[in-house]
Each structure stands twice: as structure tokens, then as C-alpha cells.
């Protein structure tokens, strides 16, 4: 597809004047150019429409979606991207709502976007997630945008849609992007392909704090916050934080020289946010000085490039009737042990050579 040379305005000042009498209905379908123009001016309905477009699985939307992303790509990349995970009920949504409001009240230039991903709700098109992510107060704020991402299909599809939604949010001027994901399945691994920083929320328990925490999380977390640390839970939270700190010291980390700090917060009572904010700033300073910030983004882009190639190849052949029947025949032979899986795949790939 030819790259569009459309000029996208940098703000309201240099935006072309739009005749107010010609206002489109908010749900009217807009062209990618029009959508990009409005979105880059920070129009939230255009942002929502843009995300719906990139989430769409309809073949007719694919070219519009990729044109929109091409038009806005150069305007993305300026936000800090934080992935927030933790067991169901730990208080992710509560924390994000109050921490979002905290950031917005503190800094008049802050714009906060929250993309909530629940892989388990992909089947239900986000209906369950929609209920859980109301975030009523934050949702009313003019500099906030909340969106449950629910692309149908596998976790990979949801992750990709979230990555693209992130690009659109950045193009619309959002400078703090949070991705909330429920800590089940492979969702943390997915978040590490999307975010600059992985913030893991834990909560005080009745004894062994690490029991409910999945293996591998300690290696992935860049920061840990012990939520629900207010009032009567404070002592248990302090004990839990010590235990988590000890566990963090035991794991070998890929991020050289960085030992995640563990802070005590209460999302419900807005406590501990200054310390957490300072920890986040320290993390980003460290990552930028050490070069791991850029390195991580480069690796993520490479990951998405590779992944898109394989997905593209898969979908190219998934609809080819000859390919499907040959694959199914070879699969039978593999099952009946007539050929090895390797030989079968070689034969299948050989059949492609003529086509490519």
C-alpha cells in the first residue's frame, strides 16, 4: 500500500478549520485520513473509533486499520507504558482509577489512558471486563481514556490489538499508558511485550505471601507494590513486603543491576502514591541511563515484526483449500506414524515452494 503523505496537525492551533455545520455523527464511519486528523487533535471519539477499527477482524477493515496506523506511527512512542498485573481481586482497577486521578490532578499536562486486557474474556467480547472496568470517576475526566481491549480469538490477537491501541493513544497525546491485565495464563509474558515497566501488585495475606504468586513473576516484575496496606492491614503488609523483597533478591534478573523496590500502597485510600511515583521515576531513570529502555522497545518491535510475519503467512495459507487438504492428509500420516512430524512438515513446506 502506498504510504499516505497526509499532513497531520500538531495541535489545535494548526488544525484545518472544520465547518461546525458539517459535523459527522459520532458513529459515522470516517476515512483513515479523517480519523487520523481528528485523533491527532486528541478527539476521544475518533480514538475510540480508531481502536475499534484496529481491533476489527473483518477483512474489509484491515487496509483502513493499517493505513490509520501508518499515518499515526510517527506520532507515537512518547508515553511511558506501564503494565499492571496481579491476582484477581488484588485491586488493579481500584489502584489505576485512583492513581490515574492522582497523576491528572498533579500535572495539568498529564493524559492517562488505561487499556484493560482480560484474555479470559476474549470469548465474551469483553462483556465481563466491561463490567469490571467502569472506573467511574476517572472515566469522567476529560484527560482520561479507559478502554477494555477485547479482540476475539487468542491471547496473541488481544495483545496485538492492545499494542495497536497503545500507538493510537500516544498519537492522541496520552503520555501515561497503563495496561491492566489479570494475572492468569500467559498474560504477564504478553505485558512484557507491550510495556516499558512491569508493575506487579501483591496484597497482604495470612502468612506465606508468595504462595499465591506464580512462579516466574519475580523475574519479570520491575516494581512491586503491596496493595491494601492501609490501617489494620499495615502490619501484615509490611511483613509481606519483606518476604517479597527477600524473594526478589534471590532471582537472577535480566535487567542488569536493577533490584525492584517494594512499596506499600492503598489504591482504595490513595496512600503511598508519592513513594510509588518516585520508585517509577527511579526505574525509568535507571533504564534510560543503562540503555535498557531503548533496548526493550527495540526488542518489542522486533518481536511484533516477527510475529506479524508468521501470523501473515499462517492466514495466507489458512484459506487455501489445497494447503488445508494436504495438511490434513499429512496430519493423518503423522498420527498413524507413517511419517515423522518433521518429514510431514518438510513435505508441506515443499509444496509451498512453487507458490512463493
Ligand X SMILES: Nc1nc2c(ncn2[C@@H]2O[C@H](COP(=O)(O)OP(=O)(O)OP(=O)(O)O)[C@@H](O)[C@H]2O)c(=O)[nH]1
Footprint of Mg ion (CB under 5 A) = 92-93, 132
Burial of 249 (0-12, 13-18, 19+ CB in 10 A): exposed
Contact stretch for ligand X (CB under 6 A) within 20-28, 261-269, 336-344, 348-356: 261-269
Query: Of these partners, Mg ion, ligand X, none, which one is at the site of residue 204 (CB under 5 to 8 Å by kind)?
Result: none
CB 195 to ligand X: min, Å: 17
Which one, of 124, 117, 188, 171, lies nearest residue 146 by Cα? Answer: 117
Cell numbers placing 164: 495497536
| Backbone φ, ψ for residue 326 (5° rounding) | -65, -40
- Compute the distance between CA of residue 230 and CA of residue 45 in angstroms, rounded to an integer: 38
Contact string 262-301 vs ligand X (x = CB under 6 A): ----xxx---------------------------------
Residue 91 in the binding site for ligand X (CB under 6 A): yes
Residue nearest to Mg ion (CB): 93
CB 282 to ligand X: min, Å: 23
Coil, helix or strand for 222? coil
Contact string 117-136 vs ligand X (x = CB under 6 A): ---------------x----
CB atoms under 10 Å from CB of 73, counted, come to 13
Residue 115 in the binding site for ligand X (CB under 6 A): no
Residues 201-260 that bind ligand X (CB under 6 A): 227-228, 230
Residue 92 in the binding site for ligand X (CB under 6 A): yes
Contact stretch for ligand X (CB under 6 A) within 15-23, 38-46, 84-92, 307-315: 84-92
Contact string 172-191 vs ligand X (x = CB under 6 A): ----------x---------
Residue closer to Mg ion by CB (options 49, 133) is 133
Which of 88, 185, 212, 291 binds ligand X (CB under 6 A)? It is 88
Query: Of these partners, ligand X, Mg ion, none, which one is at the site of residue 77 (CB under 5 to 8 Å by kind)?
Result: none
Residue closer to ligand X by CB (options 206, 336) is 206
Give 298-343 as a 3 state SS string.
HHHHHHHHHHHHHHHHHHHHHCCHHHHHHHHHHHHHHHCCCCCHHH
Query: Of these partners, Mg ion, ligand X, none, which one is at the site of residue 89 (CB under 5 to 8 Å by kind)?
Result: ligand X
Exposure string (b/e) for 55-70, b if CB count within 10 Å is 16 or more? bbeeeeeeebbebbbb
Which of 77, 89, 153, 212 binds ligand X (CB under 6 A)? It is 89
Cell numbers placing 205: 495475606
| Backbone φ, ψ for residue 114 (5° rounding) | -120, 120
Residue closer to ligand X by CB (options 86, 157) is 86
Which one, of 94, 65, 73, 96, lies nearest residue 83 by Cα? Answer: 96
CB 198 to ligand X: min, Å: 15
CB 120 to ligand X: min, Å: 10
| Secondary structure tally for the chain: helices H, strands E | 14, 7
- Compute the distance between CA of residue 351 and CA of residue 47 in angstroms, rounded to an integer: 43
* Sign, Cα dihedral of 102, 243, 259, 200: negative
Cell numbers placing 335: 498420527
Orientation of helix 32-40 relative to helix 155-171, angle to 10°: 60
Which residues would be at the binding site for ligand X (CB under 6 A)? 86, 88-94, 132, 182, 227-228, 230, 266-268
Amino acid at each position: 500500500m502506498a504510504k499516505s503523505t497526509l499532513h497531520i496537525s500538531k495541535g489545535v492551533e494548526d488544525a484545518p478549520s472544520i465547518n461546525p455545520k458539517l459535523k459527522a455523527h459520532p458513529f459515522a464511519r470516517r476515512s483513515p485520513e479523517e480519523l487520523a486528523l481528528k485523533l491527532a487533535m486528541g478527539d476521544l471519539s475518533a480514538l475510540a473509533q480508531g481502536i475499534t477499527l484496529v481491533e476489527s477482524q473483518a477483512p474489509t477493515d484491515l487496509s483502513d486499520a493499517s493505513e490509520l496506523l501508518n499515518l499515526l506511527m510517527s506520532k507515537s512512542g512518547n508515553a511511558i507504558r506501564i503494565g499492571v498485573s496481579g491476582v484477581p481481586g488484588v485491586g488493579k482497577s481500584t489502584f489505576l482509577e485512583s492513581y490515574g486521578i492522582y497523576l491528572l490532578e498533579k500535572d495539568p499536562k498529564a493524559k492517562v489512558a488505561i487499556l484493560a486486557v482480560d484474555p479470559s474474556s476474549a470469548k465474551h467480547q469483553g462483556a465481563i471486563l466491561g463490567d469490571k472496568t467502569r472506573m467511574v470517576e476517572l472515566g469522567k475526566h476529560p484527560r482520561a481514556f479507559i478502554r477494555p481491549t477485547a479482540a476475539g480469538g487468542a491471547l496473541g490477537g488481544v495483545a496485538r490489538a492492545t499494542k495497536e491501541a497503545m500507538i493510537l493513544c500516544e498519537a492522541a497525546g496520552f503520555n501515561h499508558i497503563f495496561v491492566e491485565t489479570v494475572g492468569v495464563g500467559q498474560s504477564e509474558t504478553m505485558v512484557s511485550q507491550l510495556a516499558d515497566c512491569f508493575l506487579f501488585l501483591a496484597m497482604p495475606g495470612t502468612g506465606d505471601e508468595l504462595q499465591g504468586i506464580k512462579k516466574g513473576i519475580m523475574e519479570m516484575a520491575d516494581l512491586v507494590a503491596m496493595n491494601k496496606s492501609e490501617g489494620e492491614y499495615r502490619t501484615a503488609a509490611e511483613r509481606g513486603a519483606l518476604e517479597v523483597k527477600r524473594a526478589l533478591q534471590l532471582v537472577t534478573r535480566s535487567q542488569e543491576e536493577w533490584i525492584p523496590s517494594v512499596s506499600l500502597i492503598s489504591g482504595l485510600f490513595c496512600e503511598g502514591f508519592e513513594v510509588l511515583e518516585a520508585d517509577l521515576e527511579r526505574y525509568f531513570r535507571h533504564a534510560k541511563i543503562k540503555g535498557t529502555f531503548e533496548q526493550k522497545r527495540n526488542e518489542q518491535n522486533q518481536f511484533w515484526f516477527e510475529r506479524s510475519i508468521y501470523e501473515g503467512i499462517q492466514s495466507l495459507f489458512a484459506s487455501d483449500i489445497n494447503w488445508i487438504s494436504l495438511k490434513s492428509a499429512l496430519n493423518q500420516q503423522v498420527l498413524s506414524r507413517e511419517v515423522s512430524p518433521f518429514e510431514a512438515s518438510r513435505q508441506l513446506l515443499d509444496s509451498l515452494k512453487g507458490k512463493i
